[in-house]
Amino acid sequence: MENTGHLLIVDDDRDIRTLLAEHLKNFGYEVTTADGGGEMRKALEKRAADLIVLDLNMPKEDGLTLIRELRSKPNSPPIIMLTARAEPIDRIVGLEMGADDYLAKPFEPRELLARIRSVMRRSAQMPSNLEPLAAKRAHFGEWTLDFEHRRLEASEGRVVMLSGSEFRLVRALVDHSNKVLSREQLLTLVSPRGGTGDSLDRAIDLQVSRLRQKLGSETGALIRTVRNEGYVLAAPVTFE
């Protein structure tokens, strides 16, 4: 069977790790498992993963902490988080911190397989604008977006670090500058899960609000709200 990618499953429950590994191997994936953050780091030192399936609720280091750590590094892989928590805010926080999708326990392994395929397919897609693809930086207003280090640099030299989801949001706005993007479009660009659920819409609104604060533009001078339509980066962008 043709290899379809290397997956890393991080979950403190041995039975779940074993079940998922066996199921996914049947569909051509190479699978490595880890019982927590320590084993995850060792596994990634040995071999990069094409996608990480990460349990949110683990005893030593919780999944949110690990998502933040993973997203602080350049070229981090897509992440699907597993959660037994019922509160939507936990899923929102996970998505804000950089998870690409989530799945609530208990779940069918087939559903996880479908999510993995969807996330990896979208991750492999090339942007239609080849100029941003080849660029290392984008300049807009008084800011420079560093693609490699996933951070913003102000004209006076101040550096602003971004979470994974904040980086993907500003990257989407930069790549489509002066074009209005609906919440649904932003969800598709920022999170492969996409969708139009209220909790995910609120996540986009919250991310935009936080990004405006980091840009020092709470009034929306750079990222403008277009009523009943969405958001737009109202500034010319140059790439280098």
- Residues 177-197 have pLDDT tens digits of 888 888 878 877 776 544 444
Separation CA 36–CA 73 (nearest Å): 18
Tens digit of each residue's pLDDT (9 = 90 or more) over 96-141: 677 788 888 888 999 999 989 988 877 665 444 444 455 788 999 9
Query: What are the boundaries of each domain within the chain?
Result: 6-124, 130-239
Taking only Cα atoms into account, the Rg of the chain, rounded to an integer number of angstroms, comes to 18
Q: Report which of 182, 220, 199, 229 is spatially closest to residue 94, judged by C-alpha positions.
A: 199
Q: Architecture of 6-124 per CATH?
A: 3-Layer(aba) Sandwich (3.40)
Separation CA 121–CA 204 (nearest Å): 22
The answer, as to whether pTM is greater than 0.85, is no
Q: Report which of 131, 240, 216, 230 is spatially closest to residue 178, judged by C-alpha positions.
A: 230
Helix/strand/coil for 62: coil
pLDDT band with cut points at 50, 70 and 90 for residue 59: confident
| Residue 62 token pair | 């919780």
What is the bridge-based pairing of β-strands 101-104 and 137-140?
unpaired
Q: Report which of 42, 85, 35, 82 is spatially closest to residue 61, judged by C-alpha positions.
A: 35
Q: Report which of 196, 197, 152, 159 is spatially closest to residue 173, judged by C-alpha positions.
A: 152
Residue type at 212?
A: R
The reported pLDDT for the residue numbered 37 is: 94
130-239 CATH, one of 1.10.645.10, 1.10.10.10, 2.40.50.100, 3.30.930.10: 1.10.10.10
